[in-house]
Structure 1
Amino acid sequence: MSRELTGFYRSLAEDTDPRGLAAPDMVRRYADRRARTRAALGVLTAAALVGGTAVGAQFVLTAGPATRVGPPADTPAPPSPVPSDPTPTPSATSPGPSRSASQQPPSTSSTRVPPPARTPTSIPDSAFFALAAANDTGAGARFGEGQVLPALCGAEPGASRTVRQRVRTVPFKLAGAPEGSIPDGLYQHSITIYRDGAAADALDELRDAVRECPQQQLGDVIRRQKLLPSSGYGEESVLFEVRGPYQVPDGGPTGEVVHLVRAIRIGSVVTVLWDQGWEGSSTPKSQLDADSRRAVTAIRDWLR
């Protein structure tokens, strides 16, 4: 405190009751105490506001399901607790939620197993293939009775286990043949339904019959049979040739003719294409191969 203020204070004290006026030091201490009190009150007020905010937040967080503020609708729910179990945990045996879809093991439920081939009981016309336009003579096919296979020393592969059989004859021409010309070949085409499991046995018996009959006498003619490689037709197939002399009706033999026979199995069904030629002609194997593929397609469409 300055000297002038102190002197002034003393003069004032002399004119008043010394007991009613406090000393300058007391006045200063009193002022300092008031300042500290105000500061303390400010701190307490701020602390009370912070405490009230914390208490309110805690009340919201601990409130029941009716008042709790839940996460957004698109927030994934936390995983449920896994009970203790001696068996391996899901994280050890199966991919976790964060694993990418490409790492997931394939689902056996989505694996499609093809249905077993059904065994039909009748043979419609649609089960027989149609010739390509370039090979169609316009004469059409004729259904009737007839042999399914050429003679093989008296063997009849699978004959006792058939359920249904149909046979037709199909004349055909080679591509590029002139219009109005005679056919280039004739198929004896058959479809046979066998009892379950007997169709495969019938083809095995056919292979054995061809092997065991390499040559046979038919009237005045000797014919020879030989197995040929065949694959890629149906579930399995057998191809063999029948080779013999070509004879002119009014004369003796003038050469050799080769006829091809292919038997194809699809499930319990066997179809046979037996090329019998036309007036002593031989059919190219490429033509038989093409018509064999058409025959397989027609049967598969029928069995769907």
Structure 2
Amino acid sequence: MSRDLSDLYQSLAADADEGGLAVPESVRRYADRRARVRAAGGVLAVALLVGGVVAGVQVGLPGQRNGLAPPATTPTPAVTGPTPAPSPTPSRPATSPTGAPSTPSTTATSAPPRTPTSIPDRAFFAPPAAYLKGEPTFTDGDPVPDLCGADLTDQVVQRRIRLILYNLKPNQPEDWTPYGSYYHTITIHRAGTAKDWMADLRRAVRDCPSQEIAPGLVSRQRLLDGGGYGEEAVLFEMRSPARTDSGEPASGERVQLVRAIRVGDVVTVLWERGWESSGSTDRDQFDDYSRRAGRAVEAWLG
């Protein structure tokens, strides 16, 4: 063995005798501590790496300066076509001086029709000339027959009555006796009262189911379906025993019809009065004249 190697061994032995070798438990604790330190160092390195990435993202996205960016969402596909108009923002209701919400005012779409003050000739219908017995003439009288004394003259602004004499067949000779006659009445009622007059007429007919219209001659009144005329219509019949022109009893019954048609504050009435004491109302002609009368008033007011 060389001298240098021998000196080295002696020096090593001297150092061991002075400090002593570590026991196995100490060596194991030392190894565990080094492992924990290495693990902590690895976690710290990962944290530093993540922090750097986040900082880089924040620098790249200046609009997101506080906290992490929200998770990405699935992009919505673009839709082509017109962009819908934004919904109007509801306005707050106006308040009254007391603080309570005030009721919004409504604007009428159209003004109500003005109540007329006079009745022109054109407000009356024109019967077919071939059935007329002379020209219609204006007269005085009542718009409807007496109904047990009922008062039906209230709230009238103006009234005109036209008398129509007619033949049931066209183009009759001049000396031919008329088949019957009509009272065609047009009445302007005060604003809002024409409905009341129609209701009063219905009530008067119901309250007068029968009455004596001549000595020994009784008439029976009955409401019928008014039909689709104007804004509303009242139709009733007066039924009595038939008589001859001389007033003698005859077989069967005589039926007279009366129809009132309301258009706004105007009421037009057709009262078929017959001729003398004979003849009943022809229903087809009566309905035709009722349509003509209603349309004439509508054209006048329109």
TM above 0.5, yes or no, is yes
Is 1:243 equivalent to 2:235 in the alignment? no
Structure-2 change in CA distance of 1:197 and 1:302 (3 Å): same
Amino acid at match of 2:197: A
1:291 equivalent in structure 2: 289
2:4 equivalent in structure 1: none
Q: Among 274, 277, 298, which residue is 1:277 paired with?
A: 274
Q: What value does the CA root-mean-square deviation take over the aligned residues?
A: 2.2
Cα distance per residue 1:91-113 (max 9 Å; x no partner): 3428xxxxxxxxxxxxxxxxx95
Contact in 1 for aligned 2:132/2:164 (Cα 8 Å): no
TM-score, normalization by structure 1:
0.61
Contact in 2 for aligned 1:134/1:174 (Cα 8 Å): no
Q: Among 128, 132, 136, which residue is 1:141 paired with?
A: 136
Is 1:268 equivalent to 2:268 in the alignment? no
TM-score, normalization by structure 2:
0.61
Identity of aligned residues (%): 47
Structure-2 change in CA distance of 1:288 and 1:114 (3 Å): farther
Aligned-partner Cα distance in 2 for 1:140–1:116: 36
- Once the 2 structures are TM-superposed, how far is the Cα of residue 179 of structure 1 from its aligned partner? 3.5
Contact in 1 for aligned 2:138/2:163 (Cα 8 Å): yes
1:121 equivalent in structure 2: 117
Contact in 1 for aligned 2:238/2:255 (Cα 8 Å): yes
Aligned-partner Cα distance in 1 for 2:166–2:178: 5
Number of residue pairs matched by the alignment: 198
Q: Among 162, 166, 176, which residue is 1:172 paired with?
A: 166
Structure-2 change in CA distance of 1:120 and 1:93 (3 Å): same
Is 1:152 equivalent to 2:147 in the alignment? yes
In structure 2, stretches of 5+ residues that fail to align are 1-81, 89-107
Amino acid at match of 2:87: T
- Once the 2 structures are TM-superposed, how far is the Cα of residue 177 of structure 1 from its aligned partner? 5.8
Q: Name the SS of the counterpart of 1:274 in structure 2.
A: strand
Cα distance per residue 1:95-142 (max 9 Å; x no partner): xxxxxxxxxxxxxxxxx95552221001111111110233223x1111
In structure 1, stretches of 5+ residues that fail to align are 1-78, 80-88, 95-111
- Once the 2 structures are TM-superposed, how far is the Cα of residue 167 of structure 1 from its aligned partner? 1.0
Aligned-partner Cα distance in 2 for 1:140–1:230: 28
Cα distance per residue 1:201-236 (max 9 Å; x no partner): 000010011011000112311111000112210000
Is 1:190 equivalent to 2:188 in the alignment? no
